Structure 1
């Protein structure tokens, strides 16, 4: 991961063998549907403590996807007390941090020791590895407790892809939000439970705010927020979802949504991106020249194949 190149990352965690995160196990008939809410709640709860925003997520039967935006500048702006408060919402902290938050006076030596911990925690609170670790450990413990077993629940830590430009970010978010539709778990975005697209639509309908979901702000000079309009994104996801339903192909208008035209993506490339995103790319995702530049800056001896980047993202 390199925050100097991009703050956006697509992460995936999968269960080992036939372990079920959610859904109904066809071998035993046991339902694990309630675990979807466990995971969705934990994604939001952990993001609330971190300098990380959720751009997109989808909770599937034996894996989940999440697109994250890391905000290290936000963590740097936190006071020492704010860092400790956020860390204490996740962990017990240390004896010194507990005393500090209780208002006890610390001598200079102990205070310096506390500040060392604070800087470590500040760094961790904008670290994707720590974010995924906290989420995954919680779910693994709860699932193993419920299943009355021990051992690994996840097949590995997690898979990560860096999203280097707007095209990569938009296509990955749509890929994630449309996972339940591709898996025939839902027919429309608004009925895709435990996804960010449904959470955004529900927020619009109730006029409530989703605190941990990154805002759609359009193109802004300060670079804050997602560089698209929410209405455009919802229209695009709906349009793409209807394309994926074979019984509805004939009813799809031939015109591309304006957001695709602005980014220079055609319908064929878009359909591949939103159905095969994980298999088409490895760690770096973006236009060919951007991927090559990143690899060159990092002094890679061999630049990975950029054929898919050129054909799908330009």
Structure 2
């Protein structure tokens, strides 16, 4: 039996709560790994047409709250600019590739694939291992703006408090609130 297709809106900017768990026992995401995962997410948020609204990186899973933009937001000039920033100023994107990148750079599945593959390559190289790192496919839910979004962001930021890692969510540097408070943004 095939996979059930994800419900994805591509007709307007859409907010998603995205979650993914590791397949490894224990808590393989230690401080160094969380820093690297955050760097990968931040870099890809600049490449893709996505806004990172909230996040929390835990020892064995992560949550992202993202707004995926539509193809209309991805002008040819902006795609070329992001392509060169991602792959280097000397990188060449051919005219027929622009439309392919337009579809890819607004696609939640492609965004998550790049995050998870990029981190798995890093982790496996660092640990001199092979194989998968992440468990099942990522999970995603569409979120309405307003109270639903505010409640979700609170839920995500309170994850380390519920896990007993910190007393206050702003003390956890791998969450949206903690990141903003500790960076002074």
TM over 0.5: yes
Whether the aligned pair in 2 keeps the contact of 1:8 and 1:163 (CA below 8 Å) is yes
Match of 2:121 among 141, 147, 151: 141
Alpha-carbon shift at residue 73 of structure 1 (Å) = 5.9
Q: Give the structure 1 partner of residue 42 of structure 2.
A: 44
Cα distance in structure 2, aligned partners of 1:85 and 1:156: 34
- CA RMSD after TM alignment: 2.3
**Greater share of helix:** 1
Cα distance in structure 2, aligned partners of 1:19 and 1:90: 33
Higher RCO (CA 8 Å, separation ≥ 6 residues): 2
Cα distance in structure 2, aligned partners of 1:45 and 1:98: 17
Gaps of 5+ in 2: 1-7
Q: Secondary structure at the match of 1:150?
A: coil
Q: 1:75 to 1:21 in 2, by over 3 A?
A: farther
Gaps of 5+ in 1: 23-31, 101-113, 209-314
**Greater share of strand:** 2
Aligned residues: 177
Cα distance in structure 2, aligned partners of 1:90 and 1:10: 25
Q: Secondary structure at the match of 1:184?
A: coil
Cα distance in structure 1, aligned partners of 2:116 and 2:180: 24
Whether the aligned pair in 2 keeps the contact of 1:71 and 1:126 (CA below 8 Å) is yes
Normalising by the residue count of structure 1, what TM-score does the alignment of the two structures yield? 0.52
Q: Give the structure 2 partner of residue 79 of structure 1.
A: 76
Match of 1:159 among 130, 134, 139: 139
Q: Please tell me whether residue 196 in structure 1 is matched to residue 166 in structure 2.
A: no
Whether the aligned pair in 2 keeps the contact of 1:5 and 1:164 (CA below 8 Å) is no
Q: Give the structure 1 partner of residue 58 of structure 2.
A: 60
Q: Secondary structure at the match of 2:51?
A: strand
Whether the aligned pair in 1 keeps the contact of 2:16 and 2:142 (CA below 8 Å) is yes
Alpha-carbon shift at residue 40 of structure 1 (Å) = 1.2
Whether the aligned pair in 1 keeps the contact of 2:13 and 2:69 (CA below 8 Å) is no
Alpha-carbon shift at residue 51 of structure 1 (Å) = 1.1
Whether the aligned pair in 2 keeps the contact of 1:6 and 1:164 (CA below 8 Å) is no
